[in-house]
Amino acid sequence: MKRKKFFFVGLLMLFVAPLVLAEDQQKEIPVDEAMKCFCTTWINPAYYESYSYTGIKIMNRDGTFEFYQNDTSEDPAWLGEYKIEKSWIDKDGSVWLHVIFDEGFVKKYALAKISDDGNTLEVVFDYKAYPTVDPETWPYYIMYRK
């Protein structure tokens, strides 16, 4: 009888432990909570001279964005709207977002990661589905809280 009980408990642990551990890996958070981290001005002066990236990205709480080429630009290079579809925190405290950017003529899906200290934003775009954050994937960019 003890052997059966031990076997049953072991089997139960084999199936339950991964579920418990997976729950610890990421925790879904309300979009409003994620917006507190995401809605700010993000900059990367290294992008100022590049035509493929904008050096300043302003994410507004009303669901709009403004992208500027550099800190002296008076007019935005891109304007549009965004919607956070899903947000969660991983085991390291980083905030992750599924975001749809609508630039009027095209929609882009983005996977964004905000570092646990809230000072670094990494984003990868795709035109079809949510990608993974990979610095080797284009278009990938990294920005820093202003």
Give the pLDDT band (50/70/90) at residue 104.
confident
pLDDT of residue 141: 87
Q: Is 70 exposed, middle or buried (0-12, 13-18, 19+ CB in 10 A)?
A: middle
Whole-angstrom Cα distance, residue 109 to residue 116? 22
**Greater pLDDT, 2 or 65:** 65
pLDDT of residue 19: 33
User: What is the rounded average pLDDT of the residues 109-137?
Assistant: 85
Whole-angstrom Cα distance, residue 88 to residue 66? 24
Three-state secondary structure string covering the chain: CHHHHHHHHHHHHHHHHHHHHHHHHEEECCHHHHHHHHCCEEECHHHCCCCCCCCEEEECCCCEEEEECCCCCCCCCEEEEEEEEEEEEECCCCEEEEEEEECCCCEEEEEEEECCCCCEEEEEEECCCCCCCCCCCCCEEEEEEC
